[in-house]
Amino acid sequence: MLLQNKFFRTTLGIIFLLLILYLGSKVIVLFSPIGTIINLLLVPMMLSGFMYYLLRPLVNYLEKRKLKRPIAILLIYAVFIALFAIFWVAVWPTLQEQIQNFIRNAPYLVQDIQTQFDRLREDPLFARFFRGESDLTVRLTEYLQNAVTWVSNSISNLITVISNIVVVVATLPIILYYMLKDSHKLPPILLGLVPRKYRSEGQETLEQVDSALSSFIVTRVILNLILGLTLFIGFLVIGLPYALLLALVSVPLNFIPYVGAILASIPVVIVSFIESPMTALWSLVVIVVSQQIQDNLLTPIIYGKSLDIHPLTTVILVLIGGEFYGIIGVLIALPVYMTVKIIFLRVYEIIVAERTNET
């Protein structure tokens, strides 16, 4: 009789769940090697999946033009090598010079910002805004000093960063090659895990997930590349130092929803403020205009529709992803959520349909 009581069954289920979590916490050390492997492969797998959705349409097109799939993939690799060679010859020298100058001048950034604050205090137009705000400027200076210290400490870990990049560069082309070559083999394997009576629903769900991820990744890449080009042109027009470096830094940061645009604008405003307050104002104008062009003009044309994700949900997902996996978690939070949401809604529809048929 007790098993037929809904409250008793719910309580028993909660007890069993807590028991499983408790026992799992006791043996979690046994799974630490698995966690290490996942952390090691997470970045190459994420980048490979990212590049897979970008290159798959091109590979499919070349395959339709009577090129064998492996040959098409190798041909695309050859094009990428040629583009990298052009980048190395035409762009890298300028970028390298800007990086070196920025690192060389980094220790003097705080001093230059303090100098600009002092000039603003002496200006009659801005002096009234700084009355009684000396503590604020001191705190801002301390924050900037901490930021410069953090950058200096990060440079000391350059060897570790380079080693990680070497691992990614060495494994990414191999993983990506087999993703592009054998991607058609994955759906049957996944469908084999689904009960036979739900195979058609499973096929539709996989197609929905694939379409959502492809649309999200391809459109975000196109939009952010255009945004980076717009910012670079605007920075050149206003004479902003480190224009190429700041534009390139802004591109990956803008992949982070909502928060990314703010993070990308911080170094731009700091560098431009050191140049002059008017340059900082014009840099903000460039950023705002570029963002408005992306959001109100390009997004409706390229993407055609907005993500069915509430802004508050997006912010929460970004915070959760950042807490668990740092910048990688922030970048994959939305794609993971989209995938889970599609699968959950599909399973829910199947359960509701079965209960309706039973009644």
Segment 53-68, tens digit of pLDDT: 989 999 999 989 888 9
When the pLDDT of each residue in the chain is averaged and rounded to a whole number, the result is 77
Instruction: Please return the burial class of 342, using the count of CB atoms within 10 Å of its CB with bins 0-12, 13-18 and 19+.
Output: buried
Would you say residue 162 has pLDDT above 50? no
The Cα 81–Cα 86 span in angstroms is: 9
Handedness of CA 305, 255, 253, 312 (dihedral sign): positive
Mean pLDDT along residues 145-168: 54
User: Are 282 and 335 found together in one domain?
Assistant: yes
Note the helical H segments in the chain: 6-26, 32-64, 69-86, 92-105, 109-122, 124-127, 134-156, 158-182, 186-191, 199-238, 243-253, 259-275, 277-292, 299-302, 311-358
Q: Could you report the per-residue pLDDT of 342-359, keeping only the tens digit for each?
A: 888 888 887 777 777 666
Mean pLDDT along residues 235-258: 84
Would you say residue 28 has pLDDT above 70? no
Q: Which helix (H) or strand (E) holds 133?
A: none
- What angle do helix axes 199-238 and 243-253 make, rounded to 10 degrees? 160
Over its C-alpha atoms, the chain yields an Rg (Å, rounded) of 26
Q: Where does a domain end: 183, 211, 228?
A: 183
Q: Could you report the per-residue pLDDT of 223-234, keeping only the tens digit for each?
A: 888 888 999 999
Would you say residue 121 has pLDDT above 70? no
User: Are 233 and 170 found together in one domain?
Assistant: no
One-letter amino acid at 198 equals Y
Q: Out of 73-77, 218-222, 262-266, which region has the weakest mean confidence (pLDDT)?
A: 262-266
Which long-range contacts does 148-151 make (Cβ < 8 Å, 24+ apart)?
A: 148/106, 148/107, 148/109, 148/110, 151/106
Would you say residue 130 has pLDDT above 70? no
pTM (2 d.p.): 0.72
**58 within domain boundaries:** yes
User: Are 178 and 192 found together in one domain?
Assistant: no
User: Are 209 and 343 found together in one domain?
Assistant: yes
User: Are 243 and 342 found together in one domain?
Assistant: yes
Would you say residue 157 has pLDDT above 70? no
User: Are 254 and 149 found together in one domain?
Assistant: no
Do residues 307 and 341 make contact, with C-beta atoms less than 8 angstroms apart?
Answer: no
The Cα 54–Cα 61 span in angstroms is: 13
Matching residue, tokens 């020298």: 93
Mean pLDDT along residues 185-190: 82
**21 within domain boundaries:** no
Mean pLDDT along residues 92-117: 74
The number of domains in the chain is 2
Cβ atoms < 10 Å from Cβ of 47: 18
pLDDT at 126: 54
First to last CA, the chain: 25
**241 within domain boundaries:** yes
Mean pLDDT along residues 320-330: 76
**28 within domain boundaries:** no
pLDDT band at 137 (very low <50, low <70, confident <90, very high): low
User: Are 127 and 227 found together in one domain?
Assistant: no
The Cα 344–Cα 87 span in angstroms is: 44
Do residues 286 and 235 make contact, with C-beta atoms less than 8 angstroms apart?
Answer: yes
Q: Where does a domain end: 165, 183, 201?
A: 183
Do residues 314 and 257 make contact, with C-beta atoms less than 8 angstroms apart?
Answer: yes
Instruction: Please return the burial class of 330, using the count of CB atoms within 10 Å of its CB with bins 0-12, 13-18 and 19+.
Output: buried
How far are the Cα atoms of 124, 146, 151, 241 from residue 101, in angstroms, in the given order? 34, 20, 14, 10
User: Are 40 and 135 found together in one domain?
Assistant: yes
| More reliable by pLDDT, 84 or 44 | 84
User: Are 208 and 84 found together in one domain?
Assistant: no
| More reliable by pLDDT, 221 or 306 | 221
pLDDT at 154: 47
pLDDT band at 324 (very low <50, low <70, confident <90, very high): confident
**242 within domain boundaries:** yes
Mean pLDDT along residues 245-258: 82
Would you say residue 20 has pLDDT above 70? yes
**18 within domain boundaries:** no
User: Are 65 and 150 found together in one domain?
Assistant: yes
Mean pLDDT along residues 292-310: 65
Would you say residue 150 has pLDDT above 70? no
**15 within domain boundaries:** no
- Locate 138 and state its tokens: 């001191």
**81 within domain boundaries:** yes
| More reliable by pLDDT, 314 or 86 | 86
The Cα 257–Cα 259 span in angstroms is: 6
The Cα 312–Cα 332 span in angstroms is: 17
What DSSP assignment string belongs to 246-277? HHHHHHHHTTSTTHHHHHHHHHHHHHHHHH-H
pLDDT at 352: 76
Q: Where does a domain end: 135, 161, 183?
A: 183
Q: Which domain holds residue 253?
A: 184-358
pLDDT at 85: 93
User: Are 64 and 167 found together in one domain?
Assistant: yes
User: Are 289 and 347 found together in one domain?
Assistant: yes
